[in-house]
């Protein structure tokens, strides 16, 4: 019979086992890593380490149209013939490993997604076809990496896609779960994306889990230095704490959220080698020797840098290292900062686990950093499972007496500049951000045809073609005793008595209101943009108008 001491030890051991099983370890694998130079070339068969991940995401597949229906297909020529099988073969030695196909990505943007979710019929066909695809190739589920629903600009999605993305998640989960399959999503980290892209509570309830892309908060698209995984709680407009808390406050269950970690850094070229703190001037850095992308360095490339100035996690306000070698600056994560994020973000908020972008960007050969194979991913696993280790780092400053004091916290844009091509444009003021979207014929058939040529004289509530008339402007006159609204088709000056106040509003009538939650703060939207608040308007425009506004 076991004594009390033995029972206590067994109880503690069981508690430790349960704790280690509680966290998921999600790892994204990129199929283009097979093309990298030298020791940067990655192969799942040759380099994957058993037990490193609980879920492997194959990046990426794409949404395509086949006949009258939407489905998914491979991106690279050898995905079906080789790479899918390499991933599934890993299960032979690791039976508990789950594999999912991630569809979408930054380059894919909204192409395929927007028209696919536009109707219940399209969504149903896509769900059926995609399920057959992943079952045929041995995947355990699908990861939706739509970048980003409801976001205009160069992302090419309309506001209504926010709600339609919710429908896709709900409908797909119902079918996939009945067939024993997983449905997950990767979502943008910025706080504003909750308003524009995601109905948080509904999406979180439907999906098995959500991968928060809590990286790329800053990058070379800004003119000033910024750390892309900033964990300074007071930093604005973005930091990891704020992102996670925004999702939680909007109704996400913490056990549905997975913290995103980066095994790479965002790099800049310095204007002044001794101005190397976040907020100082910077531009796009040179490409890495093996990754070949400007402003982006894998961890194994960063380990080869000989820093002139370097700030360690323990000395860094952003709780992550950064530094420069000559005029090349990089903000990145090392073992120490990864552990900080696990302990102070993931565990503090009681999240489901963590994910890495990407498996092939860590020092997977162990030949560059002197920290063994997969140093970042193993540090995260150790920290998640309660094994606290110490890591070495040295802060270095070669500019004493030369460097000016660090500037105040910057406010930096987080999206690359938008390049617009085509003949159509979004109507100002609200639709101005949808210039690119307006030039995708499948998104706005009212304004543009499939060749992106404008259909002159065809009205559209978001887009406008060259030579089309702008929306009529309105002048509203308000007296102290009563309110009178007068609509004119051309601007004119109204002369009033001293007791009369003249104002100009953005709409002809003040009896319309937003229907969708994301327009609540844009009080003038329905009256300024849906200027046809009229029951007798043509049916197609009425339907478009009714998607956004309602008349009282």
3-state secondary structure 158-171: CCCHHHHHHHHHHH
- For residues 234 and 228, is the Cβ–Cβ distance under 8 A? no
Cβ 464 vs Cβ 429: under 8 Å: no
Taking each continuous run of H as one helix and of E as one strand, the counts in the chain are 15, 22
Does residue 405 have a cis peptide bond before it, meaning omega lies within 30 degrees of 0?
no
Exposed / middle / buried, residue 437 (Cβ in 10 Å: 0-12, 13-18, 19+): buried
What is the per-residue pLDDT for 441? 44
DSSP H or E stretch at residue 258: strand 257-262
User: With contact defined as beta carbons under 8 Å apart, do 412 and 222 qualify?
Assistant: yes
Q: Which of 147, 151, 171, 199 is catalytic?
A: 147
Distance (Å, rounded) from C-alpha 466 to C-alpha 452? 13
Q: What is the mean pLDDT of each run of 10 residues along the chain (552 residues)?
A: 54 48 91 96 98 98 97 97 98 96 95 96 98 98 96 82 98 98 94 87 98 93 91 87 94 97 97 94 94 96 97 96 98 98 97 98 98 98 94 91 53 41 52 48 43 44 53 39 37 36 37 51 43 38 48 54
Residue 306 is given by DSSP the state -
Q: Give the separation between CA 130 and CA 136, rounded to whole angstroms.
A: 10
Are 56 and 30 in contact by the 8 Å Cβ rule? The answer is no
Cα 137 to Cα 80: distance, rounded to the nearest angstrom: 8
Give the pLDDT confidence score for residue 151 in this predicted structure: 87
Per-residue buried b or exposed e for 259-298, using 16+ beta carbons within 10 Å of the residue's own CB: bbbbbbbbbbbbeebbbbbbbbebbebeebebbeeebbbb
pLDDT of residue 22: 76
Q: In CATH, which superfamily holds the domain spanning 21-262+334-397?
A: Glycosidases (3.20.20.80)
DSSP-derived pairing of the beta strands 98-104 and 282-284 = unpaired
pLDDT given at position 428: 46
Kindly report the pTM of this predicted structure: 0.72
147 is catalytic: yes
Which residues, 6+ apart, have CB-to-CB distance to 101 below 8 Å? 57, 58, 61, 72, 133, 134, 137, 139, 141, 142, 143
In sign, the C-alpha dihedral spanning 268, 270, 273, 278 is negative
């Amino acid at each position: 019979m076991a004594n009390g001491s033995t029972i206590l030890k067994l109880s503690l051991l069981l508690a430790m086992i349960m704790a280690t099983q509680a966290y998921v370890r999600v790892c994204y694998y990129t199929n283009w890593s097979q093309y990298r130079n030298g020791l940067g070339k990655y192969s799942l068969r040759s380099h994957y380490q058993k037990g490193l991940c609980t879920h492997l995401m194959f990046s990426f597949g794409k949404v395509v149209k086949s006949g009258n229906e939407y489905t998914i297909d491979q991106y690279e020529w050898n995905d079906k013939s080789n790479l899918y099988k390499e991933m599934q073969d890993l299960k032979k030695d690791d039976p508990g490993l789950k594999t999912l196909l991630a569809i979408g990505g930054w380059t894919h943007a909204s192409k395929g997604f927007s028209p696919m979710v536009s109707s219940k019929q399209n969504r149903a066909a896509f769900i059926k076809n995609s399920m057959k695809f992943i079952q045929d190739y041995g995947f355990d589920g699908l990861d939706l990496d739509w970048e980003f629903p409801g976001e205009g600009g160069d992302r090419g999605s309309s506001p209504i896609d926010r709600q339609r993305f919710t429908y896709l998640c709900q409908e797909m989960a119902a079918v996939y779960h009945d067939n024993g399959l997983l449905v997950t999503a990767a979502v943008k980290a910025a706080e504003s994306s909750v308003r524009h892209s995601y109905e948080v509570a509904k999406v979180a309830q439907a999906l098995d889990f959500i991968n928060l892309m809590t990286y790329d908060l800053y990058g070379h698209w800004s003119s000033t230095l910024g750390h892309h995984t900033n964990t300074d709680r007071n930093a604005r407009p973005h930091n990891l704490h704020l992102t996670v808390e925004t999702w939680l406050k909007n109704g996400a269950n913490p056990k549905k959220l997975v913290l995103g970690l980066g095994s790479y850094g965002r790099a800049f070229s310095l204007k002044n080698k001794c101005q190397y703190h976040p907020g100082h001037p910077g531009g796009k850095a040179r490409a890495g020797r093996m990754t070949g992308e400007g402003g982006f360095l894998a961890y194994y490339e960063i380990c080869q840098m000989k820093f002139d100035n370097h700030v360690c996690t323990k000395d860094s306000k952003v709780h992550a290292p950064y530094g420069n070698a000559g005029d090349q600056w990089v903000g990145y994560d090392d073992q120490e900062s990864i552990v900080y994020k696990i302990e102070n973000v993931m565990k503090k908020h009681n999240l489901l686990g963590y994910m890495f972008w990407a498996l092939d960007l860590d020092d997977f050969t162990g030949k560059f950093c002197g920290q063994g194979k997969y140093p970042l991913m193993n540090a995260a696993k150790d920290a998640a499972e309660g094994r606290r280790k110490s890591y070495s780092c040295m802060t270095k400053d070669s500019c004493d007496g030369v460097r000016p004091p660090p500037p105040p916290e910057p406010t930096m844009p987080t999206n690359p500049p938008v390049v617009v091509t085509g003949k159509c444009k979004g109507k100002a003021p609200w639709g101005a951000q949808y210039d690119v979207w307006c030039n995708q014929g499948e998104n706005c058939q009212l304004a543009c045809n499939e060749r992106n040529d404008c259909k002159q004289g065809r009205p559209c509530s978001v887009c406008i073609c060259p030579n089309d008339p702008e929306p009529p402007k309105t002048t509203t006159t308000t007296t102290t005793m009563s309110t009178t609204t007068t609509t004119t088709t051309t601007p004119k000056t109204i002369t009033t008595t001293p007791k009369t106040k003249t104002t100009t509003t953005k709409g002809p009538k003040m009896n319309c209101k937003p229907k969708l939650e994301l327009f609540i703060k844009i009080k003038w939207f329905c009256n300024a943009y849906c200027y046809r608040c009229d029951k007798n308007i043509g049916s197609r425009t009425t339907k478009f108008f009714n998607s956004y506004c309602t008349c009282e």
